[in-house]
Structure 1
Amino acid sequence: MYPTSVAKGCCVIQEGDVGSTVYVLEEGTVEVTKQGKKVCTMGPGKVFGELAVLYNCTRTASVTALTDIKLWGIDRHGFQTIMMRTGLIKHSQYTDFLRSIPSFQSLTEDVVSKVADVLEETFYRDGEYIIRQGATGDTFFIISEGQVKVSQQLSASEEEVTEKTLCKGNWFGEQALIGEDVRTASVTAVGDVTCLVIDRESFKQLIGGLDGRSHKHHDSDEVKALQQAEANFFSSISLTDLQIISTLGMGGFSRVELVKLRTDSSRSFALKILKKRHILDTSQQDHILSERRIMMDAHNSFIIRLYRTFRDSKYLYMLLEACLGGELWSLLRDRGSFDDATTRFYTGCVIEALAYLHSKGIIYRDLKPENIILDHRGYAKLGDFGFAKKVGLGKKTWTFCGTPEYVAPEIILNKGHDSSADCWSLGVLMFELLSGSPPFSGSDPMKTYSIILRGIDMIEFPKKITKSAANLIKRLCRDNPSERLGNQKNGVKNVQKHKWFEGFNWDGLRQGSIKPPFTPTVDGPLDSSNFDCFPDDAEESPPDEESGWDMEF
């Protein structure tokens, strides 16, 4: 952080400006105003502007110095770099320790990474017992700083005999991870000692024994042949072959149109149209290319298909599968909330989509009812992959993104996140579908984030959420990612086996043979009546933008 001084009467933060600095007040007093009205005054030790270190946003209030003041500031780039670097260094140090232990060497990269995440730092003073001979133990220790002595008492009448000294990188107590362990020696701290500790229960939840099985999934030749035929068909289509029928949706810098083939009215698609100028202005090229790569490879019946992309001098185009049943969000808005059976069906569809993505090392990061679209049968599919990212198994990413009400605590705290952030969002989605509103919601993003950080146990569940549904939501929304259901040794299977899903026909869901809770009325491939009405694109045409698009799209 850097120190700075501001004179009395000067403005530190102006409402509506874009800011990237967070401040801590060291000396003096400031006044906070919103739309010209005084909100409060703040004195030394107070923090303000903290939303700026999370993401690029406009200031929600003005802050003016009432006296001469001294501040400490740090900008987003500095803050995030420090958080990321310290997180990565710590994590790689922990994984190196684990890889040096013989019984851990058969574990896959992603499992070692998860074990590293649950290691807890514990401190011991000089002379303190870490393990006592004869006691039963369920904990395994790795020394990360300092030394310990291992001693044994051969009989009750004899003194303890020091057998050896262990130092940084050594470990002890590994038998405790396999089963009940009666400690055969005592271990005592020599000077101050820091140990990394994991207990048997956490260890078993994560890996269930020391076997590094991989769960690779291979497509059959028949499936590959069908995919190739599909690719050949779409590679022959050009933009001029498509005719716009109506608008299905509008976003900040895109529109989604229902289009048909001019030569075949029975074939309709959704065409997402993005303004190149806006993408360049907001530096979204990498996001868009990532979205394209992930969606082109996603062959799953619970994910909207992307068939091909086009571009011209002003726009990028994504030709998508048309799902004409409407947004799940619209259905939820009209009905208020869903019952258990309805929520179970839609949650089941989402779980199938997430299981597929996570098995490929992809995190979705934008789960919410608005991004779940129903097809003509009433089955739910995930759409909008703008925040999805391929991070790889056992790897983390540090980008702050997502819808405030659905963001996991580790994203807010900039600790790095992985697919377990989607497990958190799944719990939030269940709560919203069952009750009609998300569990964590404040008057502005910062308030929402502070409610999220207080945890799910501080949330009052409405009566309409049954006991077993509440139990599943709470197990998905654990603060510690490694404790979340869906992020442990059996992955998503643990969610599917939860009591709330008892008797649910997963095979029927995958095969499309279960009757959905709601069957939309879709009168043919050109019927867009399940979507809200949107005005025609009256905006003037954006400028031509060929620079910066030397990449494949």
Structure 2
Amino acid sequence: MAVTVAETQPATPALSAGMASSHQLHQPGSAPKPLPPTRTFKPSDFTRVRTLGTGTFARVCLVRPASATVPLEEDKNAEVYALKILKKTEVIKLKQIDHVRHERAVLADVAGHPFITNLQASFSDRDRLYLVLDYVPGGEIFSYLRKYRRFDEQVARFYAAEIVLVLEYLHEKQGGVAYRDLKPENLLLDKDGHIKLADFGFAKRLGYKDDRPVETYTLCGTPEYLAPEVIHNKGHTTAVDWWALGILIYEFLTGYPPFWHQNPIEIYKQIVEKPVVFPQEPQISDEAKDIIKSFCTIDRSRRLGNISGGAGRVKAHPFFHGVNWEDLLSRRQPGPIIPPIRYPGDAQCFDMYPEDDGKGDVYTAELANKYDQYFEDF
């Protein structure tokens, strides 16, 4: 599994998609049931069913309202959510305060997009921060890619097209939000087989100045997917997401990323020095090769998605010939892979993880006095 790097901290295990956020099971065409907007929540309002995933400073659990009495596997109308729990001491120690604040703010702004996990509420107690998200029962695309080894071009095109719509929304309709961690582990499938982009821990609203995207300098992301400008640390923009989409399409079609090594430093060298090379098997169409190379262009001023026309130029690429973008956004057809979901709270598509043992550094009164001001939005 890929690792994630952030700030100047050592590389740490990435928080995978199933660990980040999820989508509530609901009928096609209907919206997930929203939580009361004016209510203040506390951990005891929810019953934890099981852990969906863990990261360095966060854990995501499948939860249901504490008032629920029907056994989950028998409740066809169960309310279920993904509760992301972040320990304040770990957030502080790993210098993730800004990332956590950006994550909550961006999620609140993008709530409701059909291909993004939906933030229902956030709250905090003395020791922890909580994000209540819709539960996406299908699990990570990473798991399906591992199962099938690779996707055929039609399947890869479907997922890539839904991601294009997400990036268009984040970059062009949300004032320059860079996602910065696109990879199979952060893509979930809902019960109808559509993508839900999860884990906005590295997302940041960059904005624009004089019609030019504002640059940021934080080293964050996953080594195999980092754009060259991130590695060079000369400032990066939303263009990094289009590079990552090129890497992702390559991995969809072959089962592995174009740049890989056990040592992340060697991966960085490959990214900045070597072109993308395609295997003889499996065969990849000329259109797919061209869009991958157009995304994985070191000069971001020539990178597809970042050039004049933006996402519109991406949609017009021959690789996406035949895609009905309006139908896709409206979710009029199910996805190519339908997860085996038996009931709303079914978690069989997620790996098993040990439950929280309650251990960890104490969030002292001294820490609270110094840092609680940064967590007021929760």
Q: TM-score, length-normalised on structure 2?
A: 0.83
Corresponding residue for residue 137 of structure 1 = none
Is the Cα contact below 8 Å between 1:426 and 1:476 reproduced in 2? yes
Distance, in Å, in 2 between the alignment partners of 1:230 and 1:443 is 43
Corresponding residue for residue 315 of structure 2 = 496
Distance, in Å, in 1 between the alignment partners of 2:223 and 2:129 is 28
Corresponding residue for residue 109 of structure 2 = 297
- Deviation of 1:461 after TM superposition, in Å, equals 6.3
Matched, 1:310 2:133: no
Is the Cα contact below 8 Å between 1:409 and 1:479 reproduced in 2? yes
SS in 1 for 2:170: helix
Distance, in Å, in 2 between the alignment partners of 1:263 and 1:410 is 50
SS in 2 for 1:550: helix
| Deviation by residue 1:301-346 (Cα, 9 ceiling, x = unmatched) | 1110111111112211110110000111111111101001111111
Match runs of 1:289-438 below 5 Å: 289-299=101-111, 300-359=113-172, 360=174, 361-393=176-208, 394-438=213-257
Distance, in Å, in 1 between the alignment partners of 2:45 and 2:276 is 55
Is the Cα contact below 8 Å between 1:291 and 1:388 reproduced in 2? yes
Structure 1 residues 536, 232: closer, same or farther in 2, change over 3 A?
closer
- Deviation of 1:538 after TM superposition, in Å, equals 2.7
Matched, 1:483 2:302: yes
Structure 1 residues 501, 57: closer, same or farther in 2, change over 3 A?
same
Higher mean C-alpha deviation, range 308-317 or range 403-412: 308-317
Give aligned-pair identity as a percent.
38
- Aligned counterpart in structure 1 of residue 275 of structure 2, from 456, 478, 498: 456
Is the Cα contact below 8 Å between 1:455 and 1:479 reproduced in 2? no
- Matched to 1:507, the amino acid is E
Distance, in Å, in 1 between the alignment partners of 2:100 and 2:164 is 24
Match runs of 1:87-486 below 5 Å: 230=34, 232-233=36-37, 235=39, 237-264=41-68, 266-299=78-111, 300-359=113-172, 360=174, 361-393=176-208, 394-457=213-276, 460=279, 462-486=281-305
Structure 1 residues 461, 288: closer, same or farther in 2, change over 3 A?
farther
Corresponding residue for residue 142 of structure 1 = none
| Deviation by residue 1:247-278 (Cα, 9 ceiling, x = unmatched) | 11111121110011233562110001111111
Distance, in Å, in 2 between the alignment partners of 1:231 and 1:395 is 35
Is the Cα contact below 8 Å between 2:48 and 2:62 reproduced in 1? yes
- Deviation of 1:462 after TM superposition, in Å, equals 4.3
Structure 1 residues 274, 515: closer, same or farther in 2, change over 3 A?
same
Count of residue pairs the alignment pairs up: 333
- Matched to 2:46, the amino acid is L
Distance, in Å, in 2 between the alignment partners of 1:238 and 1:277 is 19
Q: CA RMSD in A?
A: 2.2
- Deviation of 1:232 after TM superposition, in Å, equals 4.3
Is the Cα contact below 8 Å between 1:441 and 1:448 reproduced in 2? yes
Corresponding residue for residue 32 of structure 1 = none
Corresponding residue for residue 5 of structure 1 = none
- Matched to 1:57, the amino acid is P
Structure 1 residues 231, 503: closer, same or farther in 2, change over 3 A?
same
Distance, in Å, in 2 between the alignment partners of 1:515 and 1:297 is 26
- Deviation of 1:508 after TM superposition, in Å, equals 1.6
Is the Cα contact below 8 Å between 2:9 and 2:94 reproduced in 1? no
- Deviation of 1:245 after TM superposition, in Å, equals 1.0
Is the Cα contact below 8 Å between 1:375 and 1:381 reproduced in 2? yes
- Deviation of 1:231 after TM superposition, in Å, equals 6.8
SS in 1 for 2:79: strand
Is the Cα contact below 8 Å between 1:324 and 1:528 reproduced in 2? yes
- Matched to 1:549, the amino acid is D
- Deviation of 1:377 after TM superposition, in Å, equals 1.2
Distance, in Å, in 2 between the alignment partners of 1:524 and 1:56 is 41
Structure 1 residues 263, 57: closer, same or farther in 2, change over 3 A?
closer
- Deviation of 1:540 after TM superposition, in Å, equals 2.1
Distance, in Å, in 2 between the alignment partners of 1:461 and 1:495 is 26
Is the Cα contact below 8 Å between 2:37 and 2:121 reproduced in 1? no
Distance, in Å, in 2 between the alignment partners of 1:536 and 1:282 is 22
| Deviation by residue 1:491-541 (Cα, 9 ceiling, x = unmatched) | 111111111111112222111112211111112221111101112223525
Distance, in Å, in 1 between the alignment partners of 2:116 and 2:274 is 30
Which of the two has greater strand per residue? 1
- Matched to 1:289, the amino acid is R
The unaligned stretches of length 5 or more in structure 1 are 1-51, 59-225
Structure with the greater relative contact order (CA < 8 A, sep ≥ 6): 1 or 2?
Answer: 2
Distance, in Å, in 2 between the alignment partners of 1:404 and 1:541 is 28
Is the Cα contact below 8 Å between 2:138 and 2:349 reproduced in 1? yes
| Deviation by residue 1:42-85 (Cα, 9 ceiling, x = unmatched) | xxxxxxxxxx9x94438xxxxxxxxxxxxxxxxxxxxxxxxxxx
Distance, in Å, in 1 between the alignment partners of 2:140 and 2:337 is 12
Distance, in Å, in 2 between the alignment partners of 1:459 and 1:499 is 19
The unaligned stretches of length 5 or more in structure 2 are 12-29, 69-74
Distance, in Å, in 2 between the alignment partners of 1:287 and 1:448 is 24
Matched, 1:513 2:336: no
Is the Cα contact below 8 Å between 1:378 and 1:516 reproduced in 2? yes
Match runs of 1:10-159 below 5 Å: 55-57=8-10
